[in-house]
Each structure stands twice: as structure tokens, then as C-alpha cells.
């Protein structure tokens, strides 16, 4: 893990989680341990349970941050299993954090084709042991209409028809198996002006395929519902999202639970990173934080 996922909105997250050394905290998206490490440093003795779906990231954390790994309960599982995890470890949390989105480790080091900047196999699974369907499966087997559906639903790709048609046409000559092959197909399908835009023409297609591979929006909904369920009375839930669809799911779940009088907003204001943080970490520019508290 030479390059690690830089924690976004770190100080704001710690503040709104309302922690103390005698409390219990779940990091539902542990990744490189950025948030968890900062929490442990500020509140020595705090009980931390870290959930990470990718076993490779767990291994990297144990190797590169052994002291942190020794001081938290590491759980290699999806956060949708929060109820089972809490029961298994008898760990009733006073605070839970979700830092959604894709990690720098997955983009730069996983070798699974998350990035269009490297030529890698089209995989995109967060957990290669527990997930079956790969990005290559989607690209090479989904009917044209299904490809159009995920491109519009998960990325609002303007040229969804052209890209879907180009993929289906290209795969008739042989399977599309690596990222550069897919980028070439996308580049061929879209107009020249679109290829010259600041945002790479393959960005939205790669996002849509990744979301489909990992069923991300349903996973987020189910995970947040489970987190609210296991949270102790007066406990805080902080969620950081990175694109509009994630943020929409978070808003919906929070509003539904507010109507049922299960939670209340700590602040209805969406917390965004400062300009200085964005300058230090460009990935932070799209981050949105929402905070709720479970009603007693």
C-alpha cells in the first residue's frame, strides 16, 4: 500500500462522531485506516471495530500499520452484514462512519481494472473471493439494452447508445478483456470534442460498470439501514459520499428513518471540504458529509 487512501473531511468526521475514550466506534469502510488511526490517536483506549470487504486491504493494513491493526478489531466482511458483525463481537457502537466511494488503493494497486489509465484485466470486484460477476462478464454478455440501462442509470452517460452499440459490435470479433481495449472502444464511439474534454471520455462508463459489478447503490442502502439498526441510542452516524447517486441514497434512507422517528439530523447542512483541503487532496472536491443521531 505504497499509496494510501487519504481520509477526506477527517477533522470534521471526528468532531461530528462525538467520540470519547470510553466509547465504541465502527469504521464501516476501513480501507487504509486513515480515519480509524486518527480516532485512536485522539482517543487512546477507545474500542474500534474496522470493517473492510477486501481481504487484500486487510493484509496491507496488518503489514504496513501493525500497531493500528493490533489495536482494533479487524473484520473482513461487507458492511451490509453489520447486524451479524455486531452480534458476533458483542460490539454495540456509539458511532459509525461510512467513507463511501472507491479507494486509491483499488485504483492504483489492486490490478483489477478500476482505472482506465492502466492496462489491466476487466475485473472491478471489491472482493474477488466472495463476488462472482466481473466487469468483463458485463461488457461481454450484457445485451445492448442492459448496457444502455446501466450507462444511463449509474453515470448519466450522454452517449450511452453509441457506447453500448460499439461494445456489442467490438465483442462480436472477440471478447473485450482489458481496460485499454474498452477505452479504445469508448473513444471510437464518441465524438472528437467529447474525447478532448477535461474529464476522460471513459470515466462515466467505468463508473457505471463498477457500480453494476458491486451492486453499490443497493449495498449502500442496506449497509446504512443496518448501521442505524445497530447504533446505540444517542449514537452518531456519519456518511461521506462522493457522487450524486450515493448522496441521493443516503438522503433517502435518512429521511425515511426521520419520518419513522428513529433518527434525527445533527445538522441538515451538508458538510463539504474546505478549499485548503481540496488543494491538498483533489479527490476531496466532490465529498459530501451527512450526520444523524439515533433517537433515544
How many domains, in total, are found in the chain? 2
User: Do 92 and 25 reside in the same domain of the chain?
Assistant: yes
**Inside any domain, residue 94:** yes
User: Do 286 and 146 reside in the same domain of the chain?
Assistant: no
User: Do 57 and 203 reside in the same domain of the chain?
Assistant: no
End-to-end CA distance of the chain: 41
Note the pLDDT of residue 105: 82
177, 192, 214 — which closes off a domain? 214
User: Do 72 and 137 reside in the same domain of the chain?
Assistant: no
For 134, the 3-state DSSP assignment is coil
Q: Domain containing 184 — which CATH number?
A: 1.10.150.170
User: Do 72 and 88 reside in the same domain of the chain?
Assistant: yes
pLDDT at 7 over 60: yes
164, 194, 214 — which closes off a domain? 214
**Inside any domain, residue 24:** yes
Question: Between vectors from CA 290 to CA 287 and to CA 292, what angle results, nearest 5°?
Answer: 160
Note the pLDDT of residue 34: 92
Helices (H), 156-286: 160-171, 179-189, 192-195, 203-214, 216-230, 244-259, 275-280
The answer to whether residues 148 and 164 touch, using CB atoms and an 8 Å cutoff, is yes
Note the pLDDT of residue 113: 96
C-alpha cell at 164: 453500448
Q: Alpha-carbon torsion 248, 200, 278, 212, what sign?
A: positive
> Which domain covers residue 87, as residue numbers?
10-106+216-294
C-alpha cell at 233: 441510542
User: Do 172 and 242 reside in the same domain of the chain?
Assistant: no
Q: What is the mean pLDDT of the chain?
A: 95
Q: Give the predicted TM-score (pTM) of the model.
A: 0.93
Q: Domain containing 38 — which CATH number?
A: 3.40.50.150
Closest C-alpha among 103, 201, 183 to residue 139 = 183
The answer to whether residues 105 and 3 touch, using CB atoms and an 8 Å cutoff, is yes
User: Do 49 and 131 reside in the same domain of the chain?
Assistant: no
Note the pLDDT of residue 103: 84
pLDDT tens-digit map of 157-194: 999 999 999 999 999 999 999 999 999 999 999 999 99
pLDDT tens-digit map of 195-218: 999 999 999 999 999 999 999 999
User: Do 152 and 93 reside in the same domain of the chain?
Assistant: no
Backbone angles phi, psi at 149, to 5 degrees: -60, -50
Confidence class for position 132, pLDDT limits 50, 70, 90: very high
Confidence class for position 281, pLDDT limits 50, 70, 90: confident
Q: How far apart are CA 17 and CA 97, in angstroms?
A: 8
Note the pLDDT of residue 1: 40
User: Do 224 and 208 reside in the same domain of the chain?
Assistant: no
User: Do 121 and 65 reside in the same domain of the chain?
Assistant: no
Note the pLDDT of residue 5: 61
**Inside any domain, residue 3:** no
Integer Rg of the chain from CA:
20
User: Do 178 and 207 reside in the same domain of the chain?
Assistant: yes
The answer to whether residues 133 and 197 touch, using CB atoms and an 8 Å cutoff, is no
Which residue, chain included where needed, has cell 462515466? 204
pLDDT at 228 over 80: yes
What is the strand order of the sheet 95-99 is part of? 73-75, 47-51, 24-27, 95-99, 236-241, 288-294, 263-271
User: Do 209 and 225 reside in the same domain of the chain?
Assistant: no
Amino acid at each position: 500500500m505504497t499509496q494510501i487512501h487519504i481520509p477526506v473531511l477527517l477533522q470534521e468526521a471526528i468532531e461530528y462522531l462525538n467520540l470519547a475514550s470510553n466509547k465504541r466506534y465502527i469504521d464501516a469502510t476501513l480501507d487504509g485506516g486513515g480515519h480509524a488511526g486518527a480516532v485512536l490517536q485522539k482517543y487512546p483506549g477507545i474500542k474500534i471495530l474496522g470493517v473492510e470487504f477486501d481481504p487484500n486491504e486487510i493484509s496491507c493494513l496488518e503489514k504496513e500499520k501493525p500497531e493500528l491493526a493490533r489495536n482494533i478489531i479487524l473484520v473482513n466482511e461487507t458492511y451490509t452484514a453489520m447486524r451479524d458483525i455486531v452480534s458476533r463481537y458483542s460490539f454495540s457502537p456509539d458511532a459509525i462512519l461510512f467513507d463511501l466511494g472507491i479507494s486509491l488503493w483499488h485504483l492504483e494497486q489492486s490490478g483489477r481494472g478500476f482505472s482506465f489509465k492502466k492496462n489491466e484485466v476487466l475485473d472491478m470486484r471489491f472482493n474477488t473471493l466472495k463476488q462472482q460477476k466481473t466487469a468483463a462478464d458485463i461488457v461481454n454478455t450484457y445485451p445492448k439494452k442492459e448496457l444502455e440501462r446501466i450507462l444511463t442509470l449509474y453515470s448519466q452517460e450522454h452517449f450511452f447508445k453509441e457506447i453500448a452499440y460499439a461494445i456489442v459490435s467490438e465483442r462480436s470479433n472477440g471478447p473485450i478483456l482489458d481496460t485499454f481495449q474498452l477505452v479504445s472502444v469508448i473513444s471510437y464511439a464518441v465524438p472528437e470534442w467529447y474525447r478532448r474534454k477535461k474529464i476522460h471520455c471513459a470515466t462515466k462508463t467505468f463508473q457505471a460498470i463498477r457500480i453494476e459489478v458491486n451492486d453499490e447503490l443497493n449495498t449502500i442502502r442496506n449497509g446504512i439501514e443496518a448501521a442505524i439498526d445497530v447504533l446505540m441510542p444517542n449514537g452518531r452516524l456519519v456518511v461521506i459520499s462522493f457522487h450524486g447517486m450515493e448522496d441521493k441514497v443516503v438522503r433517502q434512507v435518512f429521511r425515511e428513518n426521520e419520518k419513522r422517528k428513529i433518527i434525527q439530523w445533527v445538522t441538515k447542512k451538508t458538510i463539504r471540504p474546505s478549499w485548503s483541503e481540496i488543494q491538498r487532496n483533489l479527490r476531496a472536491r466532490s465529498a459530501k458529509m451527512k450526520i444523524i443521531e439515533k433517537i433515544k
